[in-house]
């Protein structure tokens, strides 16, 4: 079986099948050798989510690192952003997270953040891959072996950082929480209660195999229902490693990343504090969201899908916030990468300071009807030329009234057709015209149709 390779967010695979302890050991050896020759501290912080395979992979990684003389501090179960915070402020050369984020429990992953709290670069990952292929470097013995310790001090520092984000406190706020049986299952309720909120929590009993199984940020129906039936003011759901968060208002309506950013940015703009008046989104950000921002004098900068692209554009534009519909938001003043707990607290503080409820904020803008259709094809080669006339017709019909995004899948013979428009009828007519042509001319068939108007995006 081929070894897992670095993708857009570390390495992932089925634990103990593709992502084995042997691989983790070799990766630890390679990263340790690289770290030993670098100018950053030869110390690593490791955190993991609640999967059964997490301790196994962490132990193998730690053994490899210590074998190369690197000191390892295990944080135990910790959100990805907590590890990033520790790496940035705790004197570590790297942070390592053993997690497969929103994937099901049998999967696992290994991802890295630098001593600056940002994700590892492609160049660093290529170097580690090369070192694994070449075999381990010379190891020392005796006092040249690194130590492996367990400490919760970095998590305590992260908790203090979070609580300080809301100096007004959250007294009187009734919050429903879905921790997805993941990395935030203990920390999120602890933060909320420290700020004076009442927390009604589900998804806080991890057993190693139930992470993301029946709720969380990718299955928001759970938090929507919980918020409504418990009479909570607002609800929040995290994914398995807590680098994203989505919300529900008191009526059980989904507040996705677009809405969260819009509510937050509108509040800062009204106070004259959104400088520059820019928000970073992606090609999937809703057109109604863009119009809503424009009416307040805020520019939406779009990037390809992916938090690395969002982070890069935030840095280039000096924007104060950005993110994706999925709830993976970045507030660079606090953290350089996505942090679901920071997102939660920034949103809740906006509600407290503005004196508004989540339900009243929900009414501030109307998303444009948005539809995504996946068309399986015999081949997507030459798809643009084959659909040229329909694409031109669609662009003409949507001019000033909507938006079109058509792209082939990067992993399978499939064309993804996304259409949004001011009116549902226009959206559906344009979509059907393109889908019919794709089915006929690409030897295809419809594999899925998702209404993204109020959803989490692609």
Name the residues annotated as catalytic.
Answer: 101
**Is residue 47 within 8 Å of 82, Cβ to Cβ?**
yes
Cα gap 120→458, rounded to integer Å: 24
Give residue for tokens 């292929």. 133
CA atoms within 13 A on the CB side of 143: 0
Question: Which sign, positive or negative, has the C-alpha torsion 298, 304, 305, 310?
Answer: negative
Q: Where are the alpha helices (DSSP H) in 231-332?
A: 257-270, 287-295, 307-317
User: Rounded CA gap, 300 and 292, in Å?
Assistant: 10
Q: 379 vs 94, 383, 409, 445, CA distance in Å?
A: 42, 8, 11, 12
| Token duo for residue 100 | 């497969």
Q: What is the DSSP string of 143-199?
A: GGSPPEEE--HHHHHHHHHHHHT-TT--TT-EEEEE-TTSTTTTHHHHHHHHTT-EE
Peptide bond into 276 cis (omega under 30): yes
DSSP 139: -
Task: Copy the structure tokens of residue 161.
Answer: 């950082």
Structure tokens given for 315: 């840095």
Residues 6+ apart with CB under 8 A from 2: none
Q: Within a 13 Å sphere around the CA of 140, how many CA atoms are in the beta-carbon half?
A: 13
Task: Please choose, from the candidates 117, 108, 71, the residue with its C-alpha nearest in 3D space to the C-alpha of residue 212.
Answer: 108
In sequence order, which residues have a C-beta less than 8 Å from that of residue 445 and are 6 or more positions away?
Answer: 375, 376, 439
Q: Which residue in 341, 324, 241 sits closest to 284, CA to CA?
A: 324
């Amino acid at each position: 079986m081929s070894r897992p390779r670095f993708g857009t967010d570390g390495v992932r695979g089925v634990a103990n099948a593709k992502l084995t302890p042997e691989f983790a050991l070799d990766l630890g050896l390679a990263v340790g050798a690289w770290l030993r020759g670098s100018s950053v501290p030869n110390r690593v912080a490791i955190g993991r989510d609640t999967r059964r395979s997490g301790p196994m992979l962490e132990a193998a990684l730690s053994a490899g690192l210590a074998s190369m003389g690197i000191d390892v501090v295990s944080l135990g179960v910790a959100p990805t952003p907590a590890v990033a915070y520790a790496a940035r402020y705790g004197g570590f050369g790297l942070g390592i997270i053993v997690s497969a984020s929103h994937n099901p429990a049998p999967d696992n992953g290994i991802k890295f953040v630098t001593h600056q709290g940002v994700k590892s670069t492609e160049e660093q990952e290529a170097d580690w891959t090369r070192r694994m292929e070449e075999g381990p470097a010379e190891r020392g013995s005796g006092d040249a072996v690194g130590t492996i310790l367990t400490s919760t001090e970095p998590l305590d520092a992260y908790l203090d950082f979070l609580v300080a984000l809301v100096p007004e406190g959250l007294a009187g706020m009734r919050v429903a929480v879905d921790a997805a049986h993941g990395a935030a299952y203990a920390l999120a309720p602890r933060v909320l209660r420290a700020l004076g909120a009442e927390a009604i929590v589900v998804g806080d009993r991890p057993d190693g195999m139930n992470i993301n199984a029946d709720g969380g940020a990718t299955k928001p129906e759970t938090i929507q229902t919980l918020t409504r039936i418990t009479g909570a003011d607002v609800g929040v759901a995290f994914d398995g490693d807590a680098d994203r968060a989505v919300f529900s208002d008191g009526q059980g309506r989904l507040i996705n990343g677009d809405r969260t950013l819009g509510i937050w940015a509108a509040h800062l703009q009204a106070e004259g504090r959104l400088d520059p008046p820019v928000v970073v989104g992606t090609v999937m950000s809703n057109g109604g969201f863009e119009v809503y921002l424009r009416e307040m004098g805020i520019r939406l900068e779009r990037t390809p899908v992916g938090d690395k692209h969002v982070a890069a554009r935030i840095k280039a534009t000096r924007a104060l916030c950005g993110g994706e519909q999925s709830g993976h938001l970045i507030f660079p003043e606090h953290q350089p990468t996505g942090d679901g707990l920071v997102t939660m607290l920034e949103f809740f503080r906006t509600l407290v300071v503005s004196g508004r409820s989540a339900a009243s904020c929900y009414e501030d803008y109307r998303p444009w009807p948005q539809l995504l259709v996946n068309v399986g094809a015999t081949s997507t080669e030459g798809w643009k030329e084959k659909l040229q006339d329909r694409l031109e017709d669609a662009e003409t019909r949507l001019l000033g009234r909507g938006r079109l995004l058509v792209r082939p899948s990067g992993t399978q013979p499939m064309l993804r057709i996304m259409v949004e428009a001011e009116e549902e009828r226009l959206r559906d007519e344009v979509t059907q015209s393109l889908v019919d042509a794709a089915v006929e001319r690409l030897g295809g068939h419809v594999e899925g149709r998702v209404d993204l108007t109020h959803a989490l995006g692609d």
